[in-house]
Amino acid sequence: MKKTINLKFTLILLLIGFMIAVQYNSIENPKQRDTRDIWAIRQELAEEKKLHSELLSEIRELDRTMSSYRTLSDFSTGQALRDTVDKLHQKAGTTDIEGPGIIIDILPSAESIAYGIPITSISSDLLTRFVNDVNRFKGIDMEIDGKRYNVLSSIRVINGSTSVNGLNVSTPPFKIKIISQTLADSEKLYNYLLASSIHDDFYLDNLILDIKPPEKGVIIRAWPEKLENLYLNELPKGE
């Protein structure tokens, strides 16, 4: 009799343990189907391959820089370092640049002018979306209403007005300048923006984008703030 009770008790514990294990497994590993179609998957794969290609290009460029340092004399190495610093300053946006690009006028829509609708500062969300849309194209430099935009920049709302780098963006009309690495890249960006749905978002805010054809000599101002070195110190000569 005692053995029978122990056997039943053991079976009940085994059943409870099995049910707990099944429930835990279903929570930890839920069955989710990937409902994306083949084109969405292909697009994501293409974006990953593009990112991989860009990383490989950066690695190759760094390898070439290191190789040039090893083969140069002391004087030439110093010049190479200065050239590298100049390139970094250009990437950081601390120097004026001139190159092929496009100029975009942000204007009030014709309907808002006709009906006397007051135009306020462009919203930070809309400006951020525009910047993110343009940043699909790599190797570009941008100026928003005379304010250099780079990786250090920020778009915020200060006292109810949209600002870039802490400076208020003018109430439209104002200009956005974008410089690309080549004139062909500017053509691609120009055609992309002409067909972009971003126009609808601007129109809903009573604004329009007037995109000028690419030019060879667009000038963008430098980042106004001085970059501070917080961690590196120059060694005394001879050390």
78-128: pLDDT as tens digits: 666 666 666 665 666 667 788 999 999 999 988 888 888 888 889 999 999
171: nearest Cα among 239, 138, 122: 122
Domain for residue 140, yes or no?
yes
User: Residue 99 in 3-state DSSP?
Assistant: strand
| Structural domain for 196, as ranges | 98-220
- pLDDT single digits (tens) 29-57: 555 555 666 777 777 777 777 777 767 77
pLDDT value of residue 179: 93
- Please provide the distance, in angstroms rounded to a whole number, between the alpha carbons at the two ends of the chain: 91
Domain for residue 29, yes or no?
no
Domain for residue 179, yes or no?
yes
Q: Are 203 and 109 in contact (CB under 8 A)?
A: yes
Domain for residue 68, yes or no?
yes
Q: Is the Cα dihedral 77, 83, 87, 92 positive or negative?
A: positive
**Rounded mean pLDDT, 207-211:** 92
Domain for residue 56, yes or no?
yes
Per the structure, how many domains does the chain have?
A: 2
Q: Are residues 82 and 171 in the same domain?
A: no
Q: Are residues 84 and 110 in the same domain?
A: no
Q: Is the pLDDT of residue 1 over 60?
A: no
pLDDT value of residue 87: 65
**Rounded mean pLDDT, 203-223:** 89
Which run of H or E residues covers position 145? Answer: none
Domain for residue 22, yes or no?
no
Q: Are residues 136 and 80 in the same domain?
A: no
Give the domain CATH number at 112.
3.30.70.1880
Reported in sequence order, the residue ranges of 40-186 that DSSP labels E, i.e. its strands, are 97-108, 141-144, 147-149, 155-158, 161-164, 167-168, 174-179
* Whole-structure pTM value: 0.62
181: nearest Cα among 143, 139, 149, 132: 139
Q: Are residues 105 and 209 in the same domain?
A: yes
- pLDDT single digits (tens) 134-182: 988 888 889 998 888 887 788 898 888 899 888 898 888 999 999 998 9
Within 8 A by CB and 6+ apart from 143, the residues are: 149, 175, 176, 177, 178, 220, 221
Domain for residue 125, yes or no?
yes
Q: Is 127 exposed, middle or buried (0-12, 13-18, 19+ CB in 10 A)?
A: buried
Q: Is the pLDDT of residue 58 over 60?
A: yes
User: Residue 142 in 3-state DSSP?
Assistant: strand
pLDDT value of residue 233: 65
Q: Is the pLDDT of residue 190 over 90?
A: yes
The larger pLDDT score, comparing residue 205 to residue 79, is at: 205
Domain for residue 27, yes or no?
no
Q: Are residues 52 and 166 in the same domain?
A: no
Reported in sequence order, the residue ranges of the chain that DSSP labels E, i.e. its strands, are 97-108, 141-144, 147-149, 155-158, 161-164, 167-168, 174-179, 207-211, 215-220
The larger pLDDT score, comparing residue 195 to residue 44, is at: 195
**Rounded mean pLDDT, 176-190:** 93
pLDDT value of residue 56: 79
Q: Using alpha carbons only, what angle is made at residue 100 by residues 170 and 195, rounded to the nearest 5 degrees?
A: 70
- pLDDT single digits (tens) 8-33: 656 666 667 666 766 666 655 555 55
Last residue of a domain, one of 92, 125, 152: 92
Q: Using alpha carbons only, what angle is made at residue 201 by residues 198 and 205, rounded to the nearest 5 degrees?
A: 140
